[in-house]
Structure 1
């Protein structure tokens, strides 16, 4: 199994976290440092984008599709609840995280200068407003880590690099972030570039 990945791509980070959490043996191919691999990936996917996963004859792209496949292909530890109601609730929250917060993160990353101010403010306010969602369980709406947490962790890791400091306004979120980033699997998922994102922002 091989994952074509980019060192600082938030979508790739989602997949690398799931791979590390499940302890899956995978070759991480950094397309930014390997021109030949970048050419190979361009032939594998119609969008020529990372992340792209190759598992024997199967080629998958889109972080969400890849992560759901990994969770079903390697069911231990499970990253979604068993019952359909809980799964549906988490999927809906996941959808909102991607549609709202990830969209704002993309705007921040693409913006220059003061153009990042508006999406930065929206993202900070959105996270603070959601603080109560993180109050009653170790992970989002669950006592066990889920695919939603594996999506939130890369986003929250990048907050300092986005110029966002939650301060004391979202204590439950702050505790949640610490639980996520202290996991050995999350630490293993980080690239050197991602570690430097936070070090350079400090």
Structure 2
């Protein structure tokens, strides 16, 4: 099994977090998104926009959410997805919404002109602050147990300082949640050197 990914892509970071939570003993190969290896291009038909590719014998996966679920099923201990169908579906919807609502704004901040990036930065900050009660409700994101949802969310929170987003004191539950997740051994192991250079969450605005 091999994983090919960008060292700074937040979606590949989600996969790497799961990878290390599962203790996968296999290779992670960091690639340059601007100049991916020809063999990875041949395997991944969406190489122009997706830089995370998992190869497991004859199986090739190139969607980060599918890879995360595959790793959870391929290495069932510890389980990161609920076993009960309704709870599992709800977790999938949460990950979908995190990607669609919050990561979309992160993409705009990182890849748009200054005016559009500024609007996205303001919206993402306000959306996170509005969600503060969700972070305060339970030890993990809307759950008593650590899950794939936390693996999906943590890379976004880690990048907030790097994209110029601070959090006010009233968002203390978000900062406390983030520090809990960041302290996990698997999260620290999931960081590339480039990601380690990103500052942690500021304490106040």
TM-score by length of 2: 0.92
* Shift of residue 112, structure 1, vs aligned partner: 3.6
Distance in structure 2 (CA, Å) of the matches to 1:171 and 1:59: 41
Q: Is the 8 Å Cα contact of residues 2 and 54 (structure 1) preserved in structure 2? A: yes
Contact kept, 8 Å, 1:53 with 1:60, in 2: the verdict is: yes
The alpha carbon displacement at 1:22 in A equals 0.7
Deviation at 1:136, TM superposition (A): 2.4
- For residue 37 of structure 2, what is the aligned residue in structure 1? 38
Aligned residue number for residue 163 of structure 2? 162
Are residues 1:187 and 2:178 paired?
no
What TM-score do you get using the length of structure 1 for normalisation?
A: 0.93
Residue matched to 2:148: 147
Question: Could you give the per-residue CA deviations for residues 129-149 of structure 1, whole angstroms, max 9, x where no partner exists?
Answer: 111111121111112111111
1:138 partner SS: coil
Partner residue in 1 for 2:84: 83
1:47 and 2:52 matched: no
Kindly report which structure 2 residues correspond to 1:51-200, keeping only aligned pairs within 5 A, or say none.
Answer: 51-198=52-199
Query: Does the CA contact (< 8 Å) of 1:7 and 1:191 recur in 2?
Result: yes
After superposition, the C-alpha distances for 1:137-192 in whole angstroms (9 at most, x for unaligned) are 11111121111110100000000011000121212111110111011100000000
Structure 2, unaligned runs of 5 or more: none
Matched, 1:19 2:7: no
Higher deviation after alignment, 100-109 or 141-150? 141-150
Are the aligned partners of 1:90 and 1:141 in contact in 2 as well (CA < 8 Å)? no
CA shift at 1:197, angstroms? 2.7
Counterparts of 1:19 and 1:152 in 2: how far apart (Å)? 15
1:55-81 alpha-carbon deviations (Å, 9 max, x no partner): 011000110010011111111111111
Distance in 2, matches of 1:39 and 1:146, equals 34
CA distance in structure 1 between the aligned counterparts of 2:15 and 2:166, rounded to whole angstroms: 25
Q: Is the 8 A contact 1:4 1:30 kept in 2?
A: yes
Question: Aligned pairs, how many?
Answer: 199
The superposition leaves residues 86-143 of structure 1 with CA deviations (integer Å, 9 ceiling, x where unpaired) of 2222222211111100100000010243431100011011111111111121111112
Per the TM alignment, residue 31 of structure 1 is displaced from its structure 2 partner at its CA by 1.6
